[in-house]
Amino acid sequence: MEYDELKSMWDKYDDKLNNLERLNKKLIRETLLMKPRRKLNWQKYSSIYRIILLPVILILVFHPLFKVSNLDFNFFLGCILTIGGMVYVTLLNLKSYLILKRIDLDSDTVLESASKVADYKIFYNSRGKHSIVYYPILYAGAILIAWKGFNFDTKTIAFIIIYFIITYAINIKSPKIYGGRLKRLEKDIIDLKEYID
């Protein structure tokens, strides 16, 4: 066997090994990216869901109250407050979705992706501060819309106050609880560094 033939065979074998190595890296990358990609897609879905959910809930709850007999100052003020709060929440959720959409696990490096997730985490953690503003506005608007439907006795007033306190606390605390999921997503992405980059 001549040297040139041997060299040609060796080069072909080397190319096959290189192709196998590239294929293995691609398979490892795809396998490792499945979990973070699924979590990221869930976050995006959740943001879209929250954009749609609030208006739908408010329409379903308040549509029986949209009668001519209920139209008064309290009703209109409640509508203004509720719509204002709803627009504010929708803008927050839209911004949340747009931040998540910028995270591209396929084209970004691991550090870029982790940095974008950290930015999202900072934004999401600030939602507790935002809820201090928008939740009382939404709640007050809802009470004013339903004003004529309430019989203001001690039980009703106590229920309104207790319900507000509980839901307000949940709105303030939920970003911190949800932050744990974002930390895990960030960790999953950083763990990819030794395998992908």
* Domain assignment present for 120: yes
pTM, entire model: 0.72
Burial class (CB in 10 A: 0-12, 13-18, 19+), 4: exposed
In contact, 61 and 143? CB cutoff 8 Å? no
* Domain assignment present for 90: yes
Mean pLDDT, rounded, for 98-120: 81
Give 118-160 pLDDT, tens digit per residue. Answer: 888 888 777 777 788 888 888 888 888 888 777 778 888 888 8
Structure-token pair, residue 128: 């507790």
**d(C-alpha 148, C-alpha 132), whole Å:** 27
Mean pLDDT, rounded, for 72-89: 88
In contact, 47 and 97? CB cutoff 8 Å? yes
* Domain assignment present for 22: no
Instruction: Give the pLDDT of residue 196.
Output: 57
What kind and span of H or E run contains 128? Answer: helix 127-145
Instruction: Give the pLDDT of residue 80.
Output: 92
Q: What's the total number of domains in the chain?
A: 1
Q: In terms of residue numbers, what domain contains 109?
A: 37-196
